[in-house]
Amino acid sequence: MELSEALPGAVKQVFGEMFFTFVSEAARGGDGEGKPFAVESEIGFKGDRSGRMRLVFSQRLAEQLAANLVGVDPAVLNEGEIIDAVKEAANILCCNLLMQAGVQTSEVSIPVARPFEAATAEAEGDTFEFEAEGEPLRVVIRLEDA
Amino acid sequence: MAFNVLIVDDSATMRAMIKRVIKLSGFEAETIYEAGNGREALKVLDGHWVDLVLTDIHMPEMDGLELLRVLSAHPVLNRLPVIIVTPEGSDEPLQEAMRLGAKACIRKPFSPEKVRQVLMRHIEEGV
Nearest CA among B1, B126, B58, B108 for reference residue A69: B108
Q: How confident is the model at residue A106 (pLDDT cuts 50, 70, 90)?
A: confident
What CATH number is associated with residue A114? 3.40.1550.10
For the segment A85-103, the average pLDDT, to the nearest whole number, is 93
Q: How confident is the model at residue B88 (pLDDT cuts 50, 70, 90)?
A: confident
- pLDDT tens across B30-83, in order? 899 999 999 999 999 999 999 999 999 988 899 999 999 999 999 999 999 999
Other beta carbons within 10 Å of A49: 18
Say how far apart CA A112 and CA A121 lie, in whole Å.
14
CA A23 to chain centre: 11
Task: Name chain B contacts of A96, Cβ cutoff 8 Å.
Answer: 87, 89, 108-109
- In terms of Cβ atoms closer than 10 Å to its own Cβ (0-12, 13-18, 19+), residue B45 is buried
Nearest to B87 among A16, A66, A92 (CB): A92
Task: Name chain B contacts of A70, Cβ cutoff 8 Å.
Answer: 13, 16-17, 20
| Residue A53 lies in domain | 3-143
Please indicate whether, in this complex, the C-beta atoms of B88 and A70 are within 8 angstroms of each other: no
Other beta carbons within 10 Å of A102: 11
Radius of gyration of chain A (CA): 14
- pLDDT tens across B13-26, in order? 899 989 988 888 88
Please indicate whether, in this complex, the C-beta atoms of A95 and B88 are within 8 angstroms of each other: yes
| pLDDT at B6 (0 to 100) | 97
Tell me: pLDDT of A30 over 60: no
| pLDDT at B80 (0 to 100) | 93
Residue pairs spanning A and B at CB distance below 8 A: 65
- Domains of chain B: total: 1
| pLDDT at B81 (0 to 100) | 93
| Residue B28 lies in domain | 3-126
- Domains of chain A: total: 1
User: To probe the interface with B, which of A99, A106, A109 has the most B CB atoms within 10 Å?
Assistant: A99
pTM for the whole structure: 0.87
What CATH number is associated with residue B62? 3.40.50.2300
| pLDDT at A33 (0 to 100) | 59
| pLDDT at A131 (0 to 100) | 93
